[in-house]
Amino acid sequence: MRVFALLPLLLLVGCPSPDDTTAPNTDVCTLPETPPCVDAMILDLSLHEAVSTGVVTNVADGDGWVTTVDASAGGYQNAASRPWVYLKFTDTGAQKVDIGDESALESMDWDLSARRFILRLNGGTSGPSCVGAAAFLERTYEDLTSVPDGMTFATDSYYTSDCTIINDSSGLPGSPQVALAPWWSYTDCVVTSSKPFLIQLQDGRVVRFIVDSYYKTGQDGCNTGAGPGTDAGNYVMRWAFVQ
């Protein structure tokens, strides 16, 4: 049995610290910065220039949204031949950005990308922007309604200085140690951790975020050990702007 150690994310890589940011809702970064290890990432994460056909839908949920994302990529065996789904958090829901994987490495127009169990943020080693996240181990999504004083955010950082990929602790191949990794663990299926996050966007706005399910059916059974879910890669995400 392999389970993630759900550790706090402490460092905002490649973006200013809170002391460098003058006020909420001001740009954290304004110009794209080429991520390191692009050639390695194209190979390691099987990036393509085609645009994903995965469907994204939004339903209003109080002051936020429930967003469903088809990041199934044709199933686990076919994922390496399918592009990622790209999203941008907006006042009208999480909008799909129709962009290819390689073009996304030069674009600040997306915030989050998904394929199967991996969620990448547009920053650090994943993209040219500065989107970062912080995990909360002892808070619920419902009570995470503000940004704690002194909050810092971590961008994706899963390459060594010589561009060797750093995998997470799931034991699954091709699974880099991304900033949102604590949303899941793996036993015989993908278990949702129920841990919420704060995600800081390029423009300084912050959203609270949680993954409610990864399977179209059977997530509760997977979480309790009753059996695996079905139709993997069909996310249900809840999120709302808090700043």
**pLDDT of 64-74, one tens digit each?**
999 999 999 98
**What are the pLDDT digits (tens) for 108-150?**
999 999 999 999 999 999 999 999 999 999 999 999 999 999 9
Task: Report if residue 6 sits inside a domain.
Answer: no
Task: Report if residue 46 sits inside a domain.
Answer: yes
d(CA 26, CA 17): 13
Q: Classify residue 194 as left (phi > 0), alpha (psi -120 to 50) or beta.
A: left
- CA angle 60-112-187, nearest 5°? 95
Domain count, the chain: 1
The string over 86-115, giving b where at least 16 C-beta atoms fall within 10 Å of a residue's C-beta and e elsewhere, is bbbbeeebbbbbebbbeebbebbebbbbbb
Task: Report if residue 15 sits inside a domain.
Answer: no
What domain range is 235 assigned to? Answer: 30-241
The letter for the amino acid at 110 is W
Q: Specify the pTM.
A: 0.88
Predicted local distance difference test score (pLDDT) of residue 200: 98
Task: Report if residue 73 sits inside a domain.
Answer: yes
- Asked if the model's pLDDT at residue 179 lies above 70, the reply is yes
In contact, 242 and 214? CB cutoff 8 Å: no
- Asked if the model's pLDDT at residue 11 lies above 50, the reply is no
Task: Report if residue 40 sits inside a domain.
Answer: yes
For residue 224, give the nearest of 194, 198, 202, 179 by alpha carbon.
Answer: 194
- Asked if the model's pLDDT at residue 158 lies above 50, the reply is yes
Name the pLDDT band for 24 (thresholds 50, 70, 90).
low
Contacts of 102 (CB under 8 A, 6+ apart): 42, 47, 48, 49
Residue range 157-171: mean pLDDT, rounded: 92
Of residues 127 and 78, more confidently modeled: 127
Q: Distance between terminal CA atoms of the chain?
A: 38
In contact, 60 and 67? CB cutoff 8 Å: no
Name the pLDDT band for 19 (thresholds 50, 70, 90).
very low
Q: How many percent of the chain have pLDDT more than 70?
A: 90
Task: Report if residue 8 sits inside a domain.
Answer: no
**What are the pLDDT digits (tens) for 93-113?**
999 999 999 999 999 999 999
Q: Which strand (E) or helix (H) includes residue 220?
A: helix 219-224
Q: How many percent of the chain have pLDDT more than 90?
A: 80
Task: Report if residue 85 sits inside a domain.
Answer: yes
Predicted local distance difference test score (pLDDT) of residue 135: 97
Task: Report if residue 119 sits inside a domain.
Answer: yes
